[in-house]
Amino acid sequence: MARTSRPSASEAVPAAPSASTEAQAETAAPRTRTSAIERAVQILDALQQANRPATAYEVARMVGAPLSTVYSIINDLVEKNLLARRMDGTIWLGSRLYGYGLTYASSLDYLAVAHEEMQRLSAEVEETVQVCGLEDGMMVVQQMAEGPGHFRVTSRVGSRVPLNWTASGRLLVGHLPDAERVAFFAQHAQSSPTGRAETRPQVLAQIAREALEARLSIQIGESDASVACLAAPVLDNTGACVFTISIVMPEAKAELGTERFAQAVQAVAARIEARLGWRHREQDPAA
């Protein structure tokens, strides 16, 4: 009679998982992956906001995560060229991100049109011109053409600024329903360094709507005591503000009169919409 061999302890076949165990595993796995992705994004955002290389310890403090966790994720990102480790041991953005950025930018026709019109407007008014969009509750500078004078602005391409500090920021949410605008500003509005930026959600929501309807937003000295900004929205076919184009100038110059600059930036925004085949600016944005 043949003897049946029994598996040793090391060879024992594990019991089939129960339905509840499988469900728990399926639920836990996505949560783990999402957590790792979120940490990676936090690390990339922190480096972008700092705008300089940093040590793993500094990054851990920036994102409020354990050093061991951050160090492990940094190593993975360095291995994949999403981050780069410099000779002094600090961490910076990797070359792979540059390739992603180029591919992304090339796929957005509106950025190419906006860039051309931005350069034209900067040469016309002889001031710095920026193209700005919305990202994670903040206004982000997407493109910039510096004016020929000595005046320089602190916000550069990639800079993120609270929406309530800027003329562009208010326009970017001006198309949202009333309740959403109020909730948005309640969550994201911040006090500015000058203390002059409006922070009351209800007031900001009204200002944003009125600015979008007027196709013009002006702020003078709210985020920086020496800087003024005039912005016009670029609306798509649904009436949503996709991005803005703005003129940034010295506050003293704006106080002498803004009509010429306002007309110029509105004309350029209208031309961008026409070139992209988006809505006519004569239409009511609420239509």
Q: Is residue 23 part of a domain?
A: no
pLDDT at 23: 43
In a shared domain, residues 202 and 152? yes
Do 149 and 217 belong to one domain? yes
Q: Are 249 and 216 members of one domain?
A: yes
Tens of pLDDT along the chain (287 residues)? 444 444 443 333 344 444 444 444 444 444 444 478 999 999 999 998 898 999 999 999 999 999 999 999 999 999 999 999 999 999 999 999 988 877 776 666 788 889 999 999 999 999 999 999 998 889 999 999 987 766 666 667 778 889 988 899 999 999 999 999 999 999 999 988 878 888 999 999 999 999 999 999 998 877 666 888 999 999 998 999 999 999 998 888 888 888 999 999 999 999 999 888 886 444 444 33
> Does 81 fall in a domain?
yes
What is the reported pLDDT for 196? 80
Give me the number of domains the chain comprises: 2
- Name the token pair of 120: 């034209």
Measured CA to CA, the distance from residue 82 to residue 95 in angstroms comes to 7
Last residue of a domain, one of 69, 96, 123: 96
- Alpha-carbon gap, residue 271 to 140, rounded angstroms: 22
Residue 7 lies in a domain: no
Tell me how far apart the alpha carbons of residues 128 and 142 are, in angstroms, rounded to a whole number: 14
pLDDT at 67: 92
Domain encompassing residue 66: 30-96
In-domain check, residue 14: no
Domain assignment present for residue 46? The answer is yes
Examine the domain organization and report whether 91 and 202 are in the same domain.
no
* Residues 158 and 78 grouped into a single domain: no
User: Can you give the pLDDT at residue 148?
Assistant: 76
Which of 55, 73, 96 is at the close of a domain?
96
User: Do 186 and 244 belong to one domain?
Assistant: yes
Q: Which of 96, 116, 131 is the last residue of a domain?
A: 96
CA dihedral 88, 93, 95, 97 (to 10 degrees): 170
Q: Residues 59, 155: one domain?
A: no
In a domain, 283, yes or no: no
Residues 139 and 207 in one domain: yes
Predicted local distance difference test score (pLDDT) of residue 237: 87
**3-state SS record for the chain:** CCCCCCCCCCCCCCCCCCHHHHHHHHHHHHHHHHHHHHHHHHHHHHHHHHCCCECHHHHHHHHCCCHHHHHHHHHHHHHCCCEEECCCCCEEECHHHHHHHHHHHHHCHHHHHHHHHHHHHHHHHCCEEEEEEEECCEEEEEEEECCCCCCCCCCCCCCEEEHHHCHHHHHHCCCCCHHHHHHHHHHHCCCCCCCCCCCCHHHHHHHHHHHHHHCCEEEECCCCCCEEEEEEEEECCCCCEEEEEEEEEEHHHHCCCCHHHHHHHHHHHHHHHHHHCCCCCCCCCCC
pTM score above 0.85: no
CATH number at residue 44: 1.10.10.10
Say yes or no: 62 and 197 in one domain. no
Task: Give pLDDT, residue 109.
Answer: 77
Query: Quick one: 89 and 123 in the same domain?
Result: no
The pLDDT of residue 198? 86
Examine residue 11 and state whether it is found in any structural domain, yes or no.
Answer: no
Residue 9 has a pLDDT of: 37
Q: Do both 86 and 204 map to the same domain?
A: no
Question: 185 and 53, same structural domain?
Answer: no
Q: What is the CATH number of the domain that holds 217?
A: 3.30.450.40
For residue 40, the model assigns a pLDDT of 93
Q: Is residue 184 part of a domain?
A: yes
